């Protein structure tokens, strides 16, 4: 019902505008079209000047208002290059925008049609001008794209040999994170072995590298400050996107395809709290690709810590295999042995007698 009312209101507004236009046309005929047109042109020219000034003022006010709500400094070494690229792009496009819009509104005002200002020359075509305003923007855009490709290659190239390796897998609607154990190697996975009960990533229990891997389903990603980390990214269902806004990075998580990126965190979570002056600050990992009705809630936390803190946290986590691999039976407590069969029978008989006496 509300939709029909909205459509009716829109139709009514158009009808009103149409009637006003027709009334203006009749008034122009009665009063003299040239005088009316000159007056309208003069009014529109001044309105354009006002819109231009108010627009620039609004842009500046938005900048001042939102400046303190912008992301803090880049939390990764590689993110600095992206910040620089963003600043250069904003500067170039901002200057071009200011020049072109100033000329546009000035020409609209300066050369408005009036009784004293008539068009006397028709300038239809100029190959030289068209070559200039096509070539210069093309070169500028190609340069910006080249810088972007260089930064992209830097984070998707082979990670340093001393880089930590962490696997991040998207699943509607949370992140699953896997860390290698002491062998510093992630074991093999097989999607056919995925089981939400005891094998969320489909680990191959025949691969010994899986025996000490640690899996976190809380959406919490632990990284070491000033140490390169390579993220091995995948998805269990649909396309997700690992969004690392504070680190200025992102990468698609595609089912059936492994994507990677690497970077070096610059500040621990504690340091960033001091930099931002926000005691509640947290690094976030978000899904930057619409992935379903729960997309809005697919967020995780990144904790950047020292090497010692990271080692202590990792040591406190049990291996996923020990807790979920049915082929690995927990060892019997040291110093205990199973009782002989005849002794077990005697114990059972004594227990029955005791119950009967009661």
CA atoms within 13 A on the CB side of 104: 10
> What was the pLDDT predicted at 329?
47
pLDDT in tens, 138-169: 999 999 999 999 999 999 999 999 999 999 99
The answer, yes or no, to whether residue 335 has pLDDT greater than 70, is no
127 pLDDT above the threshold of 60: yes
> What is the pLDDT, as a whole number, of residue 21?
76
Q: Minimal CA–CA distance to 154: which of 47, 76, 245, 101?
A: 76
Question: Hey, how many other C-beta atoms are within 10 angstroms of the C-beta on 54?
Answer: 10
Reported pTM: 0.72
Q: For 71-98, how does the pLDDT look when each residue is reduced to its tens digit (9 = 90+)? A: 889 999 999 999 999 999 999 999 999 9
pLDDT of residue 109: 86
* pLDDT above 50 (res 20): yes
Residue 286 and residue 250 in contact, taking contact as beta carbons nearer than 8 Å: no
pLDDT, position 28: 64
Task: Over range 43-52, report the average pLDDT.
Answer: 88
With cut-offs at 50, 70 and 90, classify the pLDDT of residue 353: very low
How high is the mean pLDDT of the chain?
A: 84
pLDDT score recorded for residue 333: 45
Is the CATH code 2.60.40.10 the one for domain 164-324?
A: no
pLDDT-above-90 percentage for the chain = 48
Across 37-57, average pLDDT = 86
Average pLDDT over residues 97-113: 88
Size of the chain in residues: 358
Domain ranges for the chain: 2-115+126-156, 164-324
pLDDT at 323: 85
- In angstroms, how far is CA 216 from the centroid of its own chain? 21
Rounded to an integer, the average pLDDT of 52-56 is 91
């Amino acid at each position: 019902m509300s939709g029909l009312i909205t459509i009716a209101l829109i139709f009514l507004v158009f009808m009103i505008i149409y009637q006003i236009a027709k009334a203006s046309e009749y008034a122009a005929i009665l009063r003299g079209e040239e005088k009316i047109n000159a007056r309208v042109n003069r009014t529109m020219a001044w309105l354009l000047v006002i819109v231009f000034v108010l627009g620039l003022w609004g842009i500046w006010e938005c900048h001042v208002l939102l400046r303190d709500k912008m992301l803090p400094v880049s939390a990764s070494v590689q993110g600095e290059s992206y910040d620089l690229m963003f600043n250069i792009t904003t500067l170039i496009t901002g200057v071009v925008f200011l020049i072109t819009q100033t000329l546009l509104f000035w020409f609209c005002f300066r050369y408005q049609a009036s009784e004293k200002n008539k068009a006397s020359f028709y300038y239809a075509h100029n190959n030289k001008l068209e070559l200039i305003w096509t070539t210069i923007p093309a070169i500028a855009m190609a340069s910006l794209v080249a810088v972007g490709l260089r930064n992209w290659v830097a984070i998707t190239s082979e990670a340093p040999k001393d880089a930590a390796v962490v696997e991040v897998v998207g699943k509607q609607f949370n992140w699953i994170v896997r860390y290698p154990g002491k062998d510093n190697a992630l074991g093999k996975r097989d999607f056919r072995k995925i089981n939400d009960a005891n094998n969320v990533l489909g680990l191959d229990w025949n691969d010994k590298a899986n025996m000490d891997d640690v899996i976190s389903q809380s959406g919490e990603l632990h990284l070491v400050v000033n140490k390169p980390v390579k993220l091995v990214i995948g998805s269990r269902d649909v396309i997700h996107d690992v969004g690392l806004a504070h680190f200025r990075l992102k990468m698609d998580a595609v089912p059936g395809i492994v994507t990677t990126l690497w970077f070096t965190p610059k500040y621990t979570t504690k340091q960033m709290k001091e930099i931002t002056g926000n005691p509640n600050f947290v690094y976030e990992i978000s899904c930057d690709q619409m992935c379903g009705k729960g997309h809005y809630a697919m967020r995780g936390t990144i904790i950047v810590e020292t090497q010692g803190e990271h080692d202590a946290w990792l040591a406190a986590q049990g291996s996923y295999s020990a807790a979920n691999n049915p082929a690995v039976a927990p060892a019997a407590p040291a110093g205990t042995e199973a009782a002989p069969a005849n002794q077990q029978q005697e114990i059972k008989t004594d227990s029955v007698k005791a119950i009967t006496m009661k």
